[in-house]
Amino acid sequence: MSDTAQTIEPSLLLARKRRRGLLLVGLVVLLGVAAASAWWYLVARWQATTGDAYVNADMAQVSALTAGTVKAVAVHAGQQVRQGDLLVELDDSDARIALAQAEAELAKAVRGARGLSGTAQAALAGVQQRRSDVDTARAGLAAAETALAKARSELARQTALAKQGFLSPEALTTLRAAVQAAEANRAAAASAVEASQAGTGQAQAQAQAATAQVQAGPLTAQPDVELAAAGVRQAVLALARTRILAPVDGVAGPRSVQLGERVAAGTPVLSLVPLGGVWVDANFKETELAGLRVGQPVRLTADAWGSAVTFEGKLGGITPATGSALSLLPAQNATGNWIKVVQRVPVRIWLDPAPLAAHPLQVGLSMNVTVDLRDQSGPRLGLLQQAAQAQRTTVYDDAAREAESLVQRIVAANAPQAR
């Protein structure tokens, strides 16, 4: 009996240990399931994550705006530039000669317009003088007619006296000569009136021809001056475009021109990547889109910076098609052995620019994206309405202002009275 009891006792001990181990394992599994359930209920169900996300940006492809030979290259690949910095300079000799010619043409046009304006004013003054001459001639005609009437009246009166013997024939002959002289004066005065009227007509025709070449308004409104001023503006812009400037802040990419190379207008020079305005395109499964809303906060990490560096952002919208539909060779599913594949839709994420200053993100870097789904108040994801911020460059405005200032200086120098 004692031997049997000794044999059973270790078996009981082993069974008890086994039960305890199973209970411990079951407890651990139960706790793990409970923890996983709690984590899913409290955290995971309010998150949408993906590692299929990449950094993108609007890369500016800078091109030459005019033809020329590369004289200087001011930047290299990877160099950070500011808006307005010189990138490439072209030989400007031809542009400077063209500008000098345009300035001379404008000065000539202004002086020509001044001459035409003076001619027109002189012609109008000539018309007024002719009209005054007509009035003077008409006054002379009236005086000649009055003198002729007086001479005829005196001749008639003296003729009656001569018939009665009160006047000598010699005196009567003198009166007749006076009447003839008055008639000659009246005829001359009438001819003068006709000549003055004819001269007035000619002066009016000349004035109309002169004023037809002069447009009402300042000298800058004259057609020849406007055409020459447009030539100056074009020449100034052509000269300014020999200096290719950075339209935005960014980092220079590989340049495609070299010193001494002849480039044509529109030739790409280099590309600029504005690293301060990058965004992330995260490819979410189509089954995850139902919980995504515009404006939901997003936390991101980059493989390049590690998990210790986090970036913040907000959902902006989606692109109009899935990644497979936008690919170079879209999938053709009209086959008998079709298998459904969950598609991924690119979702745009606007990044907070503050962390980018300390930790810049290069275009193409991989990102890990976690979207907080708790806020469901925003609209469902739709097409992008607008960019995160409006973009505009002012590097081309200075040339236009300089051209206008130069035109005004040339006009003022050649038309002092127009000041």
Asked if 205 and 246 sit in the same domain, the reply is no
Strands of 86-90's sheet in order across: 243-245, 86-90, 68-73, 262-263
Alpha carbons 301 and 312: distance in angstroms, whole number:
9
Our count of domains for the chain comes to 2
198 shares its domain with 150: yes
Q: Is residue 352 part of a domain?
A: no
State the Cα–Cα distance between residues 282 and 292, nearest whole angstrom.
12
- Whether the pLDDT of residue 417 is over 60: the answer is no
pLDDT at 207 over 50: yes
Averaged pLDDT of the chain? 79
Same domain, 177 and 239: no
Spell out the SS3 assignment of 158-173: HHHHHHCCCCCHHHHH
In this structure, the answer to whether residues 403 and 265 fall within a common structural domain is: yes
**Angle ∠(84,87,93) on CA atoms, nearest 5:** 100
Q: Burial code of 347-386, b = ≥16 C-beta within 10 A, e = fewer?
A: bbbbbeeebeeeebbebebebbbbbebeeeeeeebeeeee
Q: Are residues 211 and 244 in the same domain?
A: no
In the predicted model, is pLDDT for residue 89 greater than 80? yes
Is 196 inside a domain boundary? Answer: yes
Q: How far apart are CA 55 and CA 278, in angstroms?
A: 7
Query: What domain range includes position 238?
Result: 61-94+233-270+399-418
Is 305 within the bounds of a domain?
Answer: no
pLDDT at 329 over 70: no
Which residues, in sequence order, are CB contacts of 166 under 8 Å at separation 6+?
A: none
- Pair 163, 247 in one domain: no
223 is a domain residue: no
Same domain, 173 and 90: no
Residues 150 and 84 placed together within one structural domain of the fold:
no
Q: Mean of the pLDDT values across residues 312-335? A: 70
44: pLDDT strictly greater than 90: no
Asked whether residue 353 is domain-assigned, the answer is no
Residue 264: closest CA among 72, 90, 74:
90
Which of these ranges, 124-133, 145-154, 358-367, has the smallest mean pLDDT?
A: 124-133
Do 210 and 117 reside in the same domain of the chain? yes
Say what the pLDDT of residue 90 is.
95
The three-class DSSP label of residue 339 is coil
126 and 167 in a single domain? The answer is yes
Nearest to 345 by CA among 302, 298, 382: 382
Query: Is residue 337 predicted with pLDDT exceeding 80?
Result: no
Are residues 213 and 66 located together in one domain of the fold? no
pLDDT of residue 23: 83
Q: What percent of the chain has pLDDT over 90?
A: 25
Distances (CA, A) of 178 to 138, 140, 165, 175, 192: 22, 18, 21, 5, 21
- The confidence score (pLDDT) of residue 112 equals 76
Separation CA 411–CA 405 (nearest Å): 10
Instruction: Let me know if residue 129 belongs to a domain.
Output: yes
Residue 139 maps to a domain: yes
CA 245 to chain centre: 16
Mean pLDDT for 67-81 is: 91
pLDDT 10s digits, 253-291: 888 889 999 999 999 999 888 877 889 999 988 888 888
CATH code for position 254: 2.40.50.100
121 & 194 share domain: yes
Q: Judge whether 317 lies within some domain.
A: no
Among the ranges given (278-292, 302-316, 379-393, 404-418), the one the predictor scored with the smallest mean pLDDT: 379-393
Using pLDDT thresholds of 50, 70 and 90, give the confidence band for residue 39. Answer: low
Cα separation, 321 vs 286, in Å, equals 11
